[in-house]
Amino acid sequence: MSATHGAAKEAHPSPTPAQVVNDLSIQVATVNGSGSQTANTVLLRTILQMGIPVSGKNLFPSNIAGLPTWFTIRASKQGYVAHRREIDFLVAMNPETAEEDVRNLGPGSAVVYDERLNLKRLRDDVVFYPVPFDQLVTPVCPDARLRKLVRNMIYDGVLAKLLGIEMEEIQTALQKQFRKKLKAAQLNFNAARAGYEFAEKNLEKADRFALQRMDATRGKILVDGNSAAALGAMFAGVTVVAWYPITPSSSLCETLIDYMKRYRLDPETGKATFAIVQAEDELAAIGMVLGAGWAGARAMTSTSGPGISLMGEFVGLGYYAEVPAVIFDIQRVGPSTGLPTRTAQGDILSTAFLSHGDTQHPMLFPCSVEECFSMAIEAFDLAEGLQTPVFVMCDLDLGMNNWMADPFPYPEKPIARGKVLSVEDIKRLGHFERYRDVDGDAIGYRTLPGTPLPAAGYFTRGSGHNEKAKYSERPEDYVNNMDRLARKFETARRRVPGPVIEGNTSAEIGIIAYGTSHWAAEEALDQLKQDHQLSAGYCRLRAFPFNEEVRDFVARHRRVYVVDQNRDAQMYDLLKLEFDVENIKKLRSVRHYDGLPIDARSVTDSIVSQESEN
């Protein structure tokens, strides 16, 4: 113990510079499967409880146990929640990566580490805090089997002491985490306290970072995007769900199952007002969704890139036969298997035109957990209103990480089921033609299987058909139908959510971003202004097809930077398809595709560099 003490006392690289309060990134480096999730979530929640805006990102491997994993927590008094490349506080628990992790730190940062790793020798410009984790855990956790898990709570206690995190809030967060498992909560708290007491006695504060109570998170919830989307689906009144497990989307349907079992059993009979089926593959999942959508259910599936590829053929049927469906795509990295546990926005182009022949599909781009919830609801109304598959394009960063948010507002708009004819409707009209554009919006009326009237029945097919849903190979029938589908897409353009436009609308440059890139883009706008005297307008896309406001935004600016989390600048390409030459010439691309969530510095640097070439 004395050696440790001495080592800590010696770790003074320079006199303590000005304190940095409520603006830091913590990175916890562990081995996958070592049970650090509780310690990390508790740390995140504790900072939130202290009123400090916070975000957490789990950078984990495609592996159950053994490979390195990093959890980053960013506390930001300005409310920035994007990923930040710079790490201020490293918790080095993984012998495999510790040395590299330490070498990657900037000068002046700090390292809490397992003393056995002997990291102090690596640098003299960072602060080292060695902690004898094994020695500390033994007395607080007599059960040797639990030590591996409980051990991690020690760094929460050490950080609490070093950064000024309130121990009472750690206790509250643990109670929240363990709910009724009081013993487990107490065991974990004891470990945190052991860490705190150790730091109090043995570590001298030598870094400049601190956390202090604020009042910026009152009433906030902490939730991941997949759970938020699941809640949205439940409040949208989803009745049929078919899915196939795939990272990073599985937790969406799993959370949905939990919620539906709690809140969607008929109070009188105890029977389910929903069906959730784990299908044999993604082809069957989307098939079940289309069958259910055809028969009138609000049906959905959730998947990721490889699943989207497999669903291609069926989605074309949904488009052409005009069957509503909601598909959540929690995007991950890469063609093929790629990096299954890393984030990207890589399915934009392939989803926009998924399937063979002429096809196009509405897509929604939630940027926040609030939008995961609200757009899930909106997606069902759009799908049934437009009678077509609608995609909600999420990503791993949003779907699997915890984000703070305001509580979700209750959906005030009644559920909109689209154009469905009843027996009375058909009797009044005297006839029914499934694919006839009666209202000028290119959306026909449909009937649901089981409607007790001979005139209600019709034949749905993926082969050529006319307005009456009869088989047809006549050229004019095919063209009429395809042209109507194109007009229906124009109706979609008017119905999907428009962009959010902010920033300096008269600036020379504009930025277009969507989904999780929003958080980096928003921070980049500030960096550009503060550090580079560059003022920019900002357009956050919320849906495809793009409406007029997007075109107007581009028209207003001289150069417009489109931020994509993919190699091929997919949204930039999609925008180019819709614009005239003048507007196309204005577009520039900012791309980020290394699997980590995009950070503001990447956006800022790319724009500054491209601007300097102008």
Partner 1 sequence: MSTTTATPPPKKVNRIGLELSDYRGGKTTLCAGCGHNAISERIIEAFYELGVEPHRVAKLSGIGCSSKSPAYFLGTAFSFNAVHGRMPSIATGTMLANRTLVALGVSGDGDTASIGIGQFVHLMRRNLPLIYIIEDNGVYGLTKGQFSATADVGSKLKTGVVNDLPAIDTCALAIQLGATYVGRSFSGDKRQLLALLQGAIAHRGTVMLDVISPCVTFNDHEGSTKSYSYVKDHDEPLSDVSFIPFFQNIEVDYEPGTATEITMHDGSRMVLKKLGTDYDPTKKVEALRVLTEAHDKGEIVTGLFYIDTERENFLDLLNLVDEPLATLPESRVRPTRQVLDEIMEELK
Q: In the range 451-490, which residues lie near partner 1 by CB under 8 A?
A: 451-463, 471
Q: How far is the CB of 351 from partner 1 (least distance, A)?
A: 19
Give me the half-sphere count of Cα atoms (radius 13 Å) on the Cβ side of residue 497.
24
Binding mask 205-224 for partner 1 (x = CB under 8 A): --------------xxxxx-
Q: How far is the CB of 383 from partner 1 (least distance, A)?
A: 14
Question: Binding to partner 1 by residue 193, rule CB under 8 A?
Answer: no
Question: Hey, is 441 helix, strand or coil?
Answer: coil
Name which of 78 and 463 has its Cβ closer to partner 1: 463
Question: Hey, is 90 helix, strand or coil?
Answer: strand
| Sign, CA torsion 16/17/20/25 | negative
Selection from 327, 318, 278 nearest residue 294 by Cα: 318
Question: Hey, is 54 helix, strand or coil?
Answer: strand
Question: Binding to partner 1 by residue 122, rule CB under 8 A?
Answer: no
Contacting residue, 158, 289, 521, 563, with partner 1 by CB under 8 A = 289
Question: Binding to partner 1 by residue 613, rule CB under 8 A?
Answer: no
Name which of 325 and 344 has its Cβ closer to partner 1: 325
Q: How far is the CB of 425 from partner 1 (least distance, A)?
A: 14
Selection from 133, 177, 128, 174 nearest residue 155 by Cα: 133
Name which of 27 and 217 has its Cβ closer to partner 1: 217
Q: Write the DSSP string, 486-515.
A: HHHHHHHHHHS---EEEE-TTSSEEEEEET
Question: Binding to partner 1 by residue 277, rule CB under 8 A?
Answer: yes
**Under rule CB under 8 A, which residues in 585-604 are in contact with partner 1?**
none
Name which of 36 and 227 has its Cβ closer to partner 1: 227
- Tokens read off for 66: 């053994």
Q: Name the one range near partner 1 by CB under 8 A: 19-27, 54-62, 442-450, 606-614.
A: 442-450
Name which of 102 and 241 has its Cβ closer to partner 1: 241
Strand partners, 220: none
**Under rule CB under 8 A, which residues in 414-433 are in contact with partner 1?**
414-415
Peptide bond into 362 cis (omega under 30): no
Single-letter amino acid code for the residue at 390: V
Name which of 238 and 600 has its Cβ closer to partner 1: 238
Residues 6+ apart with CB under 8 A from 12: 127, 206
| Sign, CA torsion 273/278/282/283 | negative
- Tokens read off for 434: 């499934």
Instruction: Say if residues 416 and 385 touch (Cβ distance below 8 Å).
Output: yes
- Tokens read off for 217: 């998170």
Name which of 141 and 289 has its Cβ closer to partner 1: 289
Strand partners, 561: 511, 588
Q: Name the one range near partner 1 by CB under 8 A: 14-22, 126-134, 274-282, 435-443.
A: 274-282
- Burial of 497: CB neighbours in 10 Å, binned 0-12, 13-18, 19+: middle
- Size of the residue set binding partner 1 (CB under 8 A): 74
Contacting residue, 117, 122, 275, 349, with partner 1 by CB under 8 A = 275
Contacting residue, 90, 154, 191, 234, with partner 1 by CB under 8 A = 234
Q: How far is the CB of 578 from partner 1 (least distance, A)?
A: 30
Q: Name the one range near partner 1 by CB under 8 A: 54-62, 84-92, 328-336, 441-449.
A: 441-449
Name which of 414 and 475 has its Cβ closer to partner 1: 414
Give me the half-sphere count of Cα atoms (radius 13 Å) on the Cβ side of residue 517.
29
Name which of 65 and 295 has its Cβ closer to partner 1: 295
Question: Binding to partner 1 by residue 238, rule CB under 8 A?
Answer: yes
- Tokens read off for 165: 């995190």
Question: Hey, is 311 helix, strand or coil?
Answer: helix
Q: How far is the CB of 465 from partner 1 (least distance, A)?
A: 10
Q: How far is the CB of 499 from partner 1 (least distance, A)?
A: 28
Strands (E), 246-323: 275-278, 299-303
**Under rule CB under 8 A, which residues in 319-378 are in contact with partner 1?**
321
Q: How far is the CB of 468 from partner 1 (least distance, A)?
A: 12
Question: Binding to partner 1 by residue 177, rule CB under 8 A?
Answer: no
- Tokens read off for 111: 């390292």
> What is the rounded CA–CA span in Å between residue 14 and residue 440?
74
Name which of 258 and 439 has its Cβ closer to partner 1: 258
CB burial of 147-185 (b: ≥16 within 10 Å; e: otherwise) equals bebbbbbbbbbbbbbbbbbbbebbbbbbbebbeeeeebb
Residues 6+ apart with CB under 8 A from 533: none
> What is the rounded CA–CA span in Å between residue 37 and residue 32?
10
Q: How far is the CB of 84 from partner 1 (least distance, A)?
A: 25
**Under rule CB under 8 A, which residues in 243-262 are in contact with partner 1?**
259
Name which of 410 and 431 has its Cβ closer to partner 1: 410
Question: Hey, is 51 helix, strand or coil?
Answer: coil
Question: Binding to partner 1 by residue 408, rule CB under 8 A?
Answer: yes
Contacting residue, 110, 170, 297, 521, with partner 1 by CB under 8 A = 297
Contacting residue, 112, 119, 199, 240, with partner 1 by CB under 8 A = 240
> What is the rounded CA–CA span in Å between residue 484 and residue 480?
6
Question: Binding to partner 1 by residue 298, rule CB under 8 A?
Answer: yes
> What is the rounded CA–CA span in Å between residue 130 and residue 547?
56
Q: How far is the CB of 262 from partner 1 (least distance, A)?
A: 9
Contacting residue, 51, 296, 306, 597, with partner 1 by CB under 8 A = 296
Name which of 304 and 355 has its Cβ closer to partner 1: 355
**Under rule CB under 8 A, which residues in 310-329 are in contact with partner 1?**
313-314, 317, 321
Question: Binding to partner 1 by residue 279, rule CB under 8 A?
Answer: yes
Phi/psi of residue 281, nearest 5 degrees: -170, 180
Phi/psi of residue 47, nearest 5 degrees: -65, -40
Q: How far is the CB of 454 from partner 1 (least distance, A)?
A: 4
Question: Hey, is 233 helix, strand or coil?
Answer: helix
Name which of 279 and 554 has its Cβ closer to partner 1: 279
Residue 154 parent element (H or E): helix 153-163
Question: Binding to partner 1 by residue 229, rule CB under 8 A?
Answer: no
**Under rule CB under 8 A, which residues in 11-30 are in contact with partner 1?**
none
Contacting residue, 295, 429, 479, 577, with partner 1 by CB under 8 A = 295
Give the number of other CB atoms < 10 A from CB of residue 13.
Answer: 16
Name which of 21 and 448 has its Cβ closer to partner 1: 448
